[in-house]
Amino acid sequence: MKIEADICQNLDRALSLEWLETNGRSGFASGTVAGANTRRYHALLLTAPQPGTNRYVLVNHVEEWLSFDDGAWSLSTNLYPGAVHPDGYIHCSGFSSLPWPTWIFAHNNARVRREILCIRGRDLVIIRWKLMGSKGDSVALRVRPMLTGRDYHAIHHENEQLSTQAINSHERVAWQSYHNLPVVRAFHSGAYRQAPDWYRHVEFPVERERGLDFKEDWWSPGEFSFKLESGKEQALAFTSETVDGLDIADLAHKERARRMRVQKSAPAVDRLAGALWQAADSFLVQRGTQHTMIAGYPWFTDWGRDTFISLPGLCLVTGRHEVAWQIIQTFSSYVSEGMVPNRFPDMNKSPEYNSIDASLWFVHAVDRYLTYSDDATRVRSIAWPAMKQILDGYRQGTRYDIHMDIDGLIVGGTPGLQLTWMDVKIGDCLVTPRHGKPVEIQALWFRALEVGARLAARFGEPEYAAGCQNDRARGVESFREKFWYKDGQYLYDTIHGPEGDDTSIRPNQVFAIALCDDLLTREQAKQVLRIVKDHLLTPVGLRTLSPTDIRYRPRCIGGPMERDRAYHQGTVWPFLLGPFVTSWLKTFGQGHETRTEARSFLDGIEAHLWEACLGQASEIFDGSPPHHPRGCPAQAWSVAEPLRALIEDLGVHKPLPHRGNN
């Protein structure tokens, strides 16, 4: 991802382009091509002391100045009320996101390269500078770090409780802004001078757009000075780890080699598949000794639903089978009353079991893992008991009145609680409650029963297999009878709800085709997909509601309440392209024209990789053109499902055999 000078020097455009560096421990660094932080989540050292849980912003930013014979100019950019200061972006002549964020700054005949990288498995970020010039050239560089020390969801303001003390020794300095937060250690190749100061009223325009607090105060403890000489790198590393020294050059060398291995394993025949393959690496992180999956950056943690929808695309088609197993094993240990957690919240709170579909996606993902790995031994001993708990829990009844009805269909929902993936709640109001029998839940249930029957037979439990087969046959018959909306020639979104059967044209009906082969006739499936294509398909995903519906919201903008009302009422979700492509090819065949058309459904995502978080796919988009990206700028299932469809359905790259975690 290379950005040319004309874009780098266009402030509005450069502010809209973000970069993301993740460390595999739930921490990350992020910012904009312009250099200014536009979100409260933009930071250099943002760590999770206990990976997978609470995160803290420790180092927000650095101010950088170069001194030449004709004066000093900055590499940095910040946004203040009514002012941009400094304006280092005007000197940027190019940016590249690979192998990590790299800027080139030019002044007269001098060119300086700046790099920012996180090290996998370490709470550590490295910044490096290099003067690109003739031998013997040199220039002075001054760097001021900006610190806060806050929860990553919060905003920091000047206060008297912040400690301004520093421990300074040769090539190392340490600060601890607040006593309950980690010490920040800086390792450098220059000199350090303690000179505390406050930088007040830094503005975050994206937070303002989202109707949230958008001004923050940063504390700067002092200043580093370096002598940049042609061909020689100078470095500054920030870490929250307790270490006495760092070999920065060796760390960067090994990290580059690791990323090159990922890049070389990516599909070369399809540009989008190759980019998504590399993006997938960002979402797989450690939780203790195991792995989990971050749902999205910058503000999501690990969610059960997102994890198991994403697992085939992030782990299985990319050959990360052992990572997939660790995720499955972790969630297996948390099964309760026939349910896997839907969310592991921040701050070490108990897991939340508030989803009707996450547990069924777990069953689907385990079966896909078994298909790729043939790891029957571990599945039988660890995952299979958890899968049976889920099947039995849904049969007999579990939380929130989730149970198999007499007709073999799954029903669920209690007042004031949202259970499906369309889960927005504003106060006591559910925007899309979907109580009753949602269409995709039935498809997931029939898929789970099919898996249960097959594995029970494989593992020598014929009676259990027969029970699954009988329950599935009864449910499928009921589905065929009750879900077809004859007047519209598509599927009801939900039946037997408090307000009757819901005829809303929504994308959830696609899962009835993608997950099962026997719920619809071929002609019914074709008609469903034509309706979805005409009403819901956009260049970047499927709308959540037809624009012909009076409840349709064309833009997901404004404050939290306004955005929540639009979240599933027309907003576009790119992850839905995965099941749509799968369904399209299953229904219309594998001919050349059909495959070409199916691949074209993903062209908008390929173009999008250049417009928001570079190399990543956003969580959502506006329902109406120009489909502006919204929500998290890097979302796991937005990467995973298009990648899975490209590889499994369109065959752009043969899935890899088992390989290690990297």
Other beta carbons less than 10 A from residue 421's beta carbon: 25
Other beta carbons less than 10 A from residue 82's beta carbon: 6
Q: How far apart are CA 213 and CA 207, in angstroms?
A: 6
What is the mean pLDDT of the segment spanning 255-283?
A: 94
Q: What is the pLDDT of residue 53?
A: 63
**Residue among 237, 179, 241, 186 at smallest CA distance from 49:** 241
Tell me the CATH number for domain 2-259: 2.70.98
544 within 8 A of 507, measured Cβ to Cβ: yes
The alpha carbon of residue 468 and the mean position of all alpha carbons in its chain are separated, in whole angstroms, by: 35
633 has pLDDT over 60: yes
* pLDDT-based confidence at residue 605 (cuts at 50, 70, 90): very high
- Cα–Cα separations (whole angstroms), residue 615 to 47, 174, 259, 267, 387: 22, 34, 14, 15, 35
- Return residue ranges of the chain for CATH 2.70.98: 2-259
Name the token pair of 648.
């499994």
Alpha helices in 99-186 (DSSP H): none
Output DSSP code: residue 283.
G
Mean pLDDT of the chain: 94
Q: How far apart are CA 384 and CA 155, in angstroms?
A: 45
Q: What is the pLDDT of residue 347?
A: 55
Would strands 500-502 and 537-538 be described as parallel, antiparallel, or unpaired?
Answer: unpaired
* Spatial CB neighbours of 389, under 8 Å, sequence gap ≥ 6: 335, 338
**What is the tens place of the pLDDT at every residue in 469-525?**
999 999 999 999 999 999 999 999 999 998 899 999 999 999 999 999 999 999 999
* Spatial CB neighbours of 199, under 8 Å, sequence gap ≥ 6: 78, 146, 217, 218, 219, 220
Torsion of CA 553, 554, 557, 560, to 10 degrees: 20
Q: What is the pLDDT of residue 658?
A: 41
Cis peptide before 415 (omega within 30 of 0): no
Q: What is the pLDDT of residue 662?
A: 41
What is the mean pLDDT of the segment spanning 577-581?
A: 98
Q: What share of the chain in percent tops pLDDT 70?
A: 97
Q: Which of 277-281, 364-368, 429-433 has the lowest mean pLDDT?
A: 429-433
646 within 8 A of 276, measured Cβ to Cβ: yes
pTM: 0.95
Q: What is the pLDDT of residue 345?
A: 64
Comparison of pLDDT for 360 and 660, the residue scoring more: 360
485 within 8 A of 425, measured Cβ to Cβ: no
Please, what is the end-to-end C-alpha distance for the chain in angstroms?
22
Give the three-class secondary structure for 401: helix
The alpha carbon dihedral of 255, 257, 260, 261 has a sign of negative
116 within 8 A of 255, measured Cβ to Cβ: no
Class of the domain covering 266-416+430-649: mainly alpha
- Return residue ranges of the chain for CATH 1.50.10.10: 266-416+430-649
64 within 8 A of 234, measured Cβ to Cβ: no
Q: What is the pLDDT of residue 348?
A: 60
Q: What is the pLDDT of residue 81?
A: 97
654 has pLDDT over 90: no
Name the token pair of 464.
């259990």
In order, the DSSP letters of 58-118 are EEEEEEEEEEETTEEEES-EEEETTEEEEEGGGGEEEEE-SSS-EEEEEETTEEEEEEEEE
Q: What is the pLDDT of residue 141?
A: 96
Q: How far apart are CA 190 and CA 169, in angstroms?
A: 12
Name the token pair of 144.
């001021």
**What is the tens place of the pLDDT at every residue in 135-169?**
667 899 999 999 999 999 999 999 999 999 999 88
- Is residue 81 packed enough to be buried (19+ CB in 10 Å), middle (13-18) or exposed (0-12)? exposed
**What is the tens place of the pLDDT at every residue in 353-412?**
999 999 999 999 999 999 999 999 999 999 999 999 999 999 999 999 999 999 999 999
Output DSSP code: residue 278.
H
Other beta carbons less than 10 A from residue 300's beta carbon: 18
Cis peptide before 626 (omega within 30 of 0): yes
**What is the tens place of the pLDDT at every residue in 611-627?**
999 999 999 999 999 99
